[in-house]
Amino acid sequence: MGRKGDGGIRGNTLPHKKTGGQAHENSPPVSVIIPHWNGIDILSECLQSLKKTTYVPLEIIVVDNNSTDGSQTWMKENHPDVILVENEKNYGYAGGCNRGIPHCSGDYVCFLNNDTIQDEGWIEPLVETMMSDSSIAAVQPKILNYFQRDLFDYAGGAGGELDVFGFPFARGRIFTTQEVDTSQFNSIADIFWASGTAMMVRKNIFLKAGGFDELFFAHMEEIDLCWRFHLMGYTVRSAPDSLVFHKNAVTLPMYTTKKYYLNHRNSFMMLLSNYSLPIALYVFPLRLALEGLAFIYALIKLDWKHMAAIIKSQIWLIFHPHKIVGKRQSVKSIRKTRDKHVLNKMYKGSVVLSYYLFGKKTYRDIVSNPDR
């Protein structure tokens, strides 16, 4: 039976799901939240894969964002063991995940895209990493491409990084360049952000941080969340022994105006909200200059969708300063550490200049010799 998205918190009892593994005395319960909007065939493959997971105790929660293809009925008929949360409208990735949290019984929560399949033992390394250090707020598996299994996926690779101007990149993926996995990122490492494609968080810390910012709707909401984790004094880590395979951009295809717009707008919103005011005022004009370069690049390529998205994102910022102020106040209420601490976890140069001007196409090239 479906549950409404605004329903109350269920009890603390978590049924042990028999998936082939054995529950261990010290194994903390894990909840997997899958936000979903249309695409029964995509969700079906994800759930088939997920039910082979060897970790127990495990529960699966699908949050349906008001699908129009009959996904809700299909779920009830074919996966009655999966908790279904039915939202009255499409709240996007951020809102969908947030509305799944009250239905979680797990101490650890995995947010998972519906266009993924997973290695059977993908949960265990994530839990082990979490249990190794109480300061870890989030952990990401190694995310590889579904169609070419030795290629790092666009959405997260082996863990996300961020430059000081708010441009994200990943270990194994710099802009459109994706590296082949040759075990170059097989060591556990601190990262700046974990990909929303597949990430595990501590539920209590997630709630203290305020969850995903639903104003983002989709794209970069996980980076914003992880930035807040850092401001609270926590760390984010990769666990490369955990493997997830991602189809990428199935729900919202790449190279659409909407996707470009969300990426540009959300990046600015994140930068202006999470930095202290002096640093935000210092970085903002430099970021605007880089935005201008992006517009010129799109103009040269006659990429009208990208140009329109950049303009639209700037118009949104002009007419919504109150949104930025409100978000800044929210971030201030949870901040425990200074920007200096967070800046030490960022890439000090510009990944845009390193990639496009200096021809640095791999993660190791960029971090070993920034902006030259």
Structural domain includes residue 84: yes
CATH number (domain holding residue 76):
3.90.550.10
Structural domain includes residue 343: no
Tokens of 134: 């109480």
Domain ends where: 246, 275, 294? 246
Q: How far apart are CA 230 and CA 345, in angstroms?
A: 9
Give me the phi and psi of 230, to 5 degrees please. Answer: -60, -40
Answer whether residue 6 shows pLDDT above 90: no
CB-based contact 101:207 (threshold 8 Å): yes
Band the pLDDT of 368: cuts 50, 70, 90.
Answer: confident
Other Cβ atoms less than 10 A from the Cβ of 86: the count is 21
Task: Based on the fold, state whether residues 234 and 269 are members of the same structural domain.
Answer: no
Tally of domains within the chain: 2
Q: How far apart are CA 168 and CA 350, in angstroms?
A: 10
Task: Based on the fold, state whether residues 268 and 165 are members of the same structural domain.
Answer: no
Structural domain includes residue 368: no
Q: What range does the domain containing 56 cover?
A: 3-246
Fill in the DSSP letter of residue 353: I
Task: Based on the fold, state whether residues 236 and 264 are members of the same structural domain.
Answer: no
Tell me: the pLDDT tens digits for 234-285?
Answer: 999 999 999 999 997 665 566 689 999 999 999 999 999 999 999 999 999 9
Structural domain includes residue 99: yes
Task: Based on the fold, state whether residues 262 and 242 are members of the same structural domain.
Answer: no
Give me the phi and psi of 239, to 5 degrees please. Answer: -130, 85
Task: Based on the fold, state whether residues 71 and 50 are members of the same structural domain.
Answer: yes
Tokens of 261: 């717009």
Amino acid type, 33: I
Task: Based on the fold, state whether residues 223 and 314 are members of the same structural domain.
Answer: no
Structural domain includes residue 348: no
Q: How far apart are CA 198 and CA 112, in angstroms?
A: 5
Tokens of 334: 């949870």
Answer whether residue 20 shows pLDDT above 70: no
Tell me: the pLDDT tens digits for 183-240?
Answer: 999 999 999 999 999 999 999 999 999 999 999 999 999 999 999 999 999 999 999 9
Structural domain includes residue 311: yes
Helix (H, G, I), strand (E, B) or coil at 354: helix
The residues, ordered by sequence, that sit 6+ positions from 41 with a Cβ below 8 Å of its Cβ are none
Percentage above 90 pLDDT, the chain: 89
Task: Based on the fold, state whether residues 188 and 70 are members of the same structural domain.
Answer: yes
CB-based contact 69:96 (threshold 8 Å): no
Structural domain includes residue 357: no
pLDDT of residue 8: 30
Task: Based on the fold, state whether residues 305 and 325 are members of the same structural domain.
Answer: yes
Domain ends where: 246, 279, 310? 246
Predicted TM-score (pTM) above 0.85: yes
CA distances from 186 to 112, 142, 241, 277 (A): 21, 9, 7, 38
Task: Based on the fold, state whether residues 194 and 282 are members of the same structural domain.
Answer: no
Output 72-76 pairs: Cβ under 8 A, ≥24 positions apart. Answer: 72/2, 74/40, 75/2, 75/43, 76/1, 76/2
Q: How many CA atoms lie within 13 A of 143 on its CB side?
A: 27
Task: Based on the fold, state whether residues 11 and 90 are members of the same structural domain.
Answer: yes
Q: How many CA atoms lie within 13 A of 131 on its CB side?
A: 12
pLDDT of residue 321: 97
Domain ends where: 193, 215, 246? 246
Structural domain includes residue 349: no
Task: Based on the fold, state whether residues 187 and 144 are members of the same structural domain.
Answer: yes
Task: Based on the fold, state whether residues 225 and 331 are members of the same structural domain.
Answer: no
